[in-house]
Each structure stands twice: as structure tokens, then as C-alpha cells.
Structure 1
Amino acid sequence: MADMGALPVGEYGTPGPLRDRLVAAILSGRKTATSSLYEEYRRFGEDLPQVGQREIVLDSHQHPVCLTETVAVEVLPVSDMKLDFALAEGEGFTSVDDWWAAHRTFWGSEDYRTHLGQPEIELDENTLVVCQWFRMLPLPSSR
């Protein structure tokens, strides 16, 4: 069994109602994909997720609830986003336009801009998005 302390942490959305909804969607199996701005990886010098990589998913109270294992990663401009990915995000999107409206609002929010350390982020059809597909795994038992 892998040392859970050595695994990266997956924190979906911001703590509170948004994270609670996203974690519930992961645990139910509705959410099998997530997206993030390529700019965030670039800005913080982080490696993109890799196939086979596992993360510990935390709830709003910073408690581990499950693991995810990356099964595919693709970097796309918003203009090339696919409906199957938007649906796999498990947030009730029925079109790529719905997906983009919700993500543009989140990524354009003051909290997110502050997180990136810049007041404005250009969000348009050329914005690069990291599309990560995953499968949910239970936490290892502590026997």
C-alpha cells in the first residue's frame, strides 16, 4: 500500500458548499473528470497530472474522503472542449456553453484571481484548460 502522506492532495473548488457538492459527486461516481487552468500549473511551476497519479481528496473540513487515480490528461483551448468531458465533470452541465459559463465565473472570481496572484485573468476561447479524467478509489483500510 502506498504511503498516503506521500500522495498529493486534491482539493476541489473552495471549502464550503461548492467543495461539498464536488466531493459528493466524486463519491457517488457522477464526477469522473475535473478541469483546471493551465495558467495555474505554469504560474506555480507544477507538473501536469500524469496517468496513474493518485491524489487524496479532502472535504471542506480537510478530512481525507477517498483517492482519485488519473486515467487521462489533455490540455485544450476552451474552443476545443468536448461535451463528453463537460458531462463527466458531474456538475449537471448539459452543454459545453454551460460548462464554460460556470468555469469562467469560478476562474474569474476575486478569490481565484487572488490565489493566482493577479487581479485579472484573460478568459476566452483560447484559454488553455487541463482536462483530467480520473477514477475514484476508496481510502486504504488502516489495518
Structure 2
Amino acid sequence: MWPRIGGLRTLALGNPGEMRANLNALVLAGVKTATAGLLTDEYATENEELEHVGERLALVDDHDALLGVVEVTGVEVVRFADVPWEFARAEGEGDRSIEEWREGHRRYWTGVGFPVDDDSQVVCIRFRLVSAGDGGIATGDLGT
């Protein structure tokens, strides 16, 4: 089960360290508005349900400290080979083509123990940043 903050599931992007810091900075800057996960490995391993439209997630750093809150605006499960370029661009990670996105994600998931092939099921999540900044989200009702 993924950690919770104020009743919200956490969104811990990438690997801890430089990667997570960079991805979080992209979200907080409004550049990254999507992320992808593996259905049969990441969700099944953690016994988590898919996110749903309208759900709010707590964006966290390496120490599970709250950085911001995002709201899910879309969720779709597609084959790895069928992830569209429009979605890959919305991840905001600087990929110049869908092939580059696929190679980078294949390398990442394989590196964390989840090798993928064209038929691997990918959860494509779109979101928008709803709150961020010092003091504004550390307390209170994070769901509103």
C-alpha cells in the first residue's frame, strides 16, 4: 500500500534523489502534467487500485514530505507500444520523440526490476497541480 498524507495517496515520482527532485520541479513548474506506471507490476505489487478522475494525490519528496497536491484529470490503461506521443509529451521530461520516450521508460522500468515489452500494460495518468508552496498545504483538508 502506498503511503497516505491527510487521507490522500502519495505520488512519489521516479527514483529518490536527483531524478525525483527533477520530476517534482517539473510538476511544480507546470511542465509535467502526466506520469506513467506499470499496471501488473507497480499497482499489483503494492495492492493499489487505479487512480480515478477527480482524485487528489499528495506530491512528495524523498522523505515523504508534502510538496504539492495534484488532481487526476485522466486515467487510461494502454499497451506500452500504444502509449501516444501526446501523452509522452505531457510527461514533460524532454523526450524528442515517442521512440525516445519508450527507450527511456523501458530502461527505467527494467532498472527497477520490471522489464517491459510491447504488450506490458501502462497506466497513463494526467493531472493538474492544484496547490503548492510553503505553508499552504501542510495542514488542513487536502481533499478540497
TM class by shorter-chain length?
Answer: 0.7 to 0.9
Match of 1:19 in 2: 20
One-letter amino acid matched to 2:6: G
> How many residues of Structure 1 are paired with residues of Structure 2 in the alignment?
131
Unaligned ranges ≥5, structure 1 = 114-120
What is the TM-score of this pair, normalised by structure 2? 0.84
1:90-125 CA distance string (max 9 Å, x none): 10011111111111111101xx22xxxxxxx44111
Structure 1 residue 132 displacement after superposition: 0.2
Q: Secondary structure at the match of 2:52?
A: coil
Which segments of structure 1 move beyond 3 Å, counting only runs of 4 or more? 139-143
Match of 1:93 in 2: 95
Q: Secondary structure at the match of 2:96?
A: coil
**C-alpha contact 2:35 2:124 (8 A) present in aligned 1:** yes
What is the TM-score of this pair, normalised by structure 1? 0.85
Of Structure 1 and Structure 2, which has the larger fraction of its residues in helix?
A: 1
Q: Secondary structure at the match of 1:138?
A: strand
Choose which of 107, 126, 131 in structure 2 pairs with 1:133. 126
Match of 2:77 in 1: 75
Unaligned ranges ≥5, structure 2 = none
Identity %: 36
